[in-house]
Structure 1
Amino acid sequence: MASIVGIIWMMTVSLALRNGPGVVVEGRAFFVFGDSLVDNGNNNYLATSARADSPPYGIDYPTHRPTGRFSNGLNIPDIISEKLGIEPTLPYLSPELQGEKLLVGANFASAGVGVLNDTGIQFVNIIRIGQQLEYFAEYQKRVAALIGSEKAKQLVKEALVLITIGGNDFVNNYYLVPFSMRARQYILPDYVSYVISEYKNVLKKLHSLGARRVIVTGTGPLGCVPAELAQRSQDGNCADELQQASVLFNPQLVEMLNGLNSEIGSHVFIAANTNQMHLDFITNPQAFGFVTSKVACCGQGPYNGIGLCTPLSNLCPNRDEYAFWDPFHPTERANRIIVEQILTGTTDYMHPMNLSTILVMDSKA
């Protein structure tokens, strides 16, 4: 199915925007916003502890070197680009993002960020979501200087956008320490409602900046990652507190997106049920060819869930057998399963439509 999607994409959705010799846009631009699940190297350019720039990160990347991706290889945006037959986006802070490479799009994501500005404060210097949106506005000025204002607006309007935030607002904020400031301020249901209301403002700003096709991922099953099993689970089962956060957050996110689409009068925002996508292989890892969904490939302590993945960590010999690469992040193979659902999944996974349907719809528009 993915190859058919790629053919449809290349044959019917390609654009040709010209503004003088040597400046051509082929295909659809792709923009990425969010946290470490989708960061492809922006934090390498920052003085922060939220980095994946040392081995064994990147061990299965084509260069076999760390790139700033929190993965053994490719992450979700990379695989979406691969499936669609388009060049992967560069980190916005990369000095290589110049000239025609700007026309491919850009990745603004930064490990550690959340919806709220106080999420990830322990990492100090990260690109908070408001700053990511400011960079998006700056990006558009750079593209306008390259191909002209109207064509820059068209490029953004016809682009595909992916945004992944929310999990850190629980893992690296509300539940970061016992009796955190946010936990003292809000009971969990009220905190979830607050995060959702702030997320709505983020998405409205993204729409005001021209985004018209936005895939919005929910949180995964937060209590099931190896880090939380190591710290909170007594019996190897998912940690109840963080699971409750996921149970509350994800349906409210879909409801909020439905409301935004109604206000706009168009299916701008597409909900990706990444919670269920993860739960599928967490609850039945063998069905997906994994030997475990509890133990991280790279780490130390119970479930390899303590601390960071470092050159001194335990490292599994076959990453394809593990659902989790490090204490928080999926392996490339797990990411591929997730992207397949984004492309072709039923409405249980993608609401109101999957990416393949979007591509066909847009090719007829």
Structure 2
Amino acid sequence: MASRISAWPLIQTLILVTFASISPQLADARAFFVFGDSLVDNGNNNYLITSARADSPPYGIDYPTHRPTGRFSNGLNIPDIISEQLGMEPTMPYLSPFLKGDKLLVGANFASAGVGILNDTGIQFLNIIRIGKQIEYFQQYQTRVAGQIGPDQTRVLVNQALVLITLGGNDFVNNYYLVPFSARSRQFSLPDYVRFLISEYRKVLTKLYDLGARRVLVTGTGPLGCVPAELAQRSRGGECAVELMRAAALFNPQLTEMISSVNSEIGADVFVAANTYTMHMDFVSNPQAYGFITSKIACCGQGPYNGIGLCTPLSNLCPNRDLYAFWDPFHPSERANRIIVQQILTGDNKYMKPMNLSTILAVDSRT
């Protein structure tokens, strides 16, 4: 065991060297598709009549244009940073009227703030793109691209693409625990609810595979009980909310097991589990080690921990977003997102199973 541990830095270095040499070529050829919720939405909800929007200041204060874009971030979000690290152009929201022509070949972001695995998650936000609709749009996208480059080349583009999907958190925060005695909490005990979510998520992942996805990063939930919104509502002394932490502790290992099971059935490592729970907990439990002054107080918000309500022009706003792990009551700051993406790229199997993104790129460059 000791020799394997001591060899890991060398292995990482070799992977990074390989990654550095192949990424430009891969970036030229590889499309990127994004599915999920507000952690990865880059503006689709701007085009919808919904309360789940991030299209007003101070959102986007650190984005290159210093303007709100619909991202639930002070700047870049996780898909943006993945694209940046791989030398790729960022994907555009699928609903954007500017997503046409050659821009389509870069890929598309189908994510929509507020959605979950279940259709009844986020109903309070009204008009959002539920995951079934996101997948319909993915089919529609392929038809559009086939009209441009033909069906065979479209199939190649999709098969070779990188896919990111982020779901699950809202199924707890904006469904099961949204109100006391919610419909789902009356229907299911927590362990049964988690098993139900996993079975429904399996159908989503299988559908993505059926539509041609062959390299899919699947993130788990973060430490749901530690976000400023939950601290403000459920915490007495700043400790993480117990029930939501229990939910995350049940959901994430079962998600990893399900991903492994689906890969076994397929006979290939199509789906990769990103342990975003541990990635978050690293800086939530020891923010100073990562250069943050706090992981409890949001940069933008009001009330206890700046965790109440929305981030608006009337909110408290910290002067230096890089010192805060959380940008608003629910979402990481750009700097926290960068830490997460670094683990997606190079993290060991504590963070990424069965392999990290750099390894995926190195493997794919040889096939």
Same structural fold, with TM-score higher than 0.5 when normalized by the shorter chain: yes
Alpha-carbon distance between aligned partners in 1 of 2:205 and 2:18, rounded to the nearest angstrom: 31
CA contact (8 A) 2:18 2:362 kept: no
Which of 142, 145, 148 is equivalent to 2:147? 145
Equivalent residues in 2 for 1:63-142 (5 A)? 63-142=65-144
Which of residues 256, 281, 284 in structure 1 aligns to 2:283?
281
> Could you tell me how far 1:228 is from its partner in structure 2?
0.1
SS in 1 for 2:308: coil
Q: Aligned pair 1:257/2:271, yes or no?
A: no
C-alpha distance in 2 between matches for 1:6 and 1:303: 40
Aligned pairs for 1:87-236 within 5 A: 87-236=89-238
SS at match of 2:147: helix
- What is the TM-score with the length of structure 1 in the denominator? 0.96
RMSD: 1.0
Q: Report deviation, 1:4.
A: 6.3
TM-score (norm 2): 0.95
Structure 1 residues 298 and 363: CA distance shift in structure 2, 3 A: same
Quick check: 1:330 aligned with 2:344? no
Indicate if the aligned counterparts of 2:301 and 2:307 stay in contact, CA closer than 8 A: yes
Q: State the match for 1:10 in structure 2.
A: 24
Whether the aligned pair in 2 keeps the contact of 1:87 and 1:104 (CA below 8 Å) is: yes
Amino acid at match of 2:210: S
Paired with 1:307 and 1:184, the residues of 2 have a C-alpha distance of 26
Partner of 1:22: none
After superposition, where does 1:340-355 map in structure 2 within 5 Å? 340-355=342-357
- The residue type equivalent to 1:301 in the other structure is G
Aligned to 1:32: 34
Q: Distance in 2 between matches of 1:6 and 1:270?
A: 21
Relative distance call for 1:6 and 1:112 in structure 2 (3 A) is farther
Deviation at 1:8, TM superposition (A): 1.3
Task: Give the residue type in structure 2 aligned to 1:58.
Answer: G
| Rounded Cα–Cα distance in structure 1 between residues aligned with 2:92 and 2:296 | 32
Work out whether residues 34 and 108 of structure 1, in 8 Å CA contact, stay in contact via their aligned partners in 2: yes
Deviation of the 1:234 alpha carbon: 1.1
* SS class of match (1:320): helix
CA shift digits 1:49-91 (9 cap, x unpaired)? 0000000000000000000000000000000000000000000
What one-letter code is carried by the residue in structure 2 that aligns with 1:135? Answer: Y
Distance (whole Å) between structure 1 residues aligned to residue 29 and residue 230 of structure 2: 41
The CA deviation string for residues 154-175 of structure 1, in whole angstroms up to 9 with x for no partner, is 0000000000000000000000
In structure 1, how many angstroms separate the alpha carbons of the residues matched to 2:140 and 2:280? 35
Question: Is 1:292 matched up with 2:294?
Answer: yes
Q: Using the TM superposition, give the Cα deviation of residue 5 of structure 1 relative to its aligned residue in structure 2, in angstroms.
A: 2.9
Corresponding letter in the other structure for 2:75: G
CA distance in 2, matches of 1:243, 1:276: 12
Other-structure match for 2:4? none
Preserved CA contact (<8 Å) 1:113 1:129: yes
Of 268, 273, 297, the match for 1:266:
268
Structure 2: distance between partners of 1:237 and 1:130: 36
Contact 1:6 1:84 in 2 (8 A): no
Question: For 1:32, what is the secondary structure of its paired residue?
Answer: strand
For residue 215 of structure 1, give the secondary structure of its aligned residue in structure 2: strand
SS of 1:79's partner is helix
Task: Map Cα deviations across residues 27-51 of structure 1 (whole Å, 9 max, x no partner).
Answer: 2000000000000000000000000
Secondary structure of the residue that 1:336 maps to in structure 2? Answer: helix
C-alpha separation between the residues in 2 aligned to 1:291 and 1:27? 40
For 1:345 and 1:172, the matched residues in 2 are separated by 30
Match of 1:19 in 2: none
Measured after TM superposition, the shift of residue 3 of structure 1 is 8.4
Q: Deviations over 1:142-196 (max 9, x none)?
A: 0000001100000000000000000000000000000000000000000000000
| Structure-2 separation of matches of 1:66 and 1:6 | 32
Q: 1:7 and 1:122 mapped to 2: Cα distance?
A: 47
| Counterparts of 1:6 and 1:236, CA distance in 2 | 42
Q: Deviations over 1:214-261 (max 9, x none)?
A: 000000000000000000011100000000000000000000000000
CA contact (8 A) 1:3 1:83 kept: no
**Contiguous gaps of at least 5 residues in structure 1:** 15-25
Q: Is the 8 A contact 1:6 1:85 kept in 2?
A: no
Check 1:68–1:4 CA distance in 2 against 1; reply closer, same or farther (3 A cut). Answer: farther
Amino acid of the structure 2 residue aligned with 1:8: I
Distance 1:78 1:235, change over 3 A: same
Give the Cα–Cα distance (whole angstroms) in 2 for the partners of residues 6 and 99 of structure 1.
29
Equivalent residue letter for 2:261: G
Contact 2:198 2:258 in 1 (8 A): yes
Question: What is the count of residue pairs matched by the alignment?
Answer: 353
Which contiguous aligned blocks of 4+ residues in structure 1 show a shift greater than 6 angstroms? 1-4
The CA deviation at 1:9 is: 1.5
Q: Encode CA deviations 1:90-140: one digit per residue, 9 max, x unaligned.
A: 000000000000000000000000000000000000000000000000000
Q: Distance in 1 between matches of 2:30 and 2:130?
A: 26
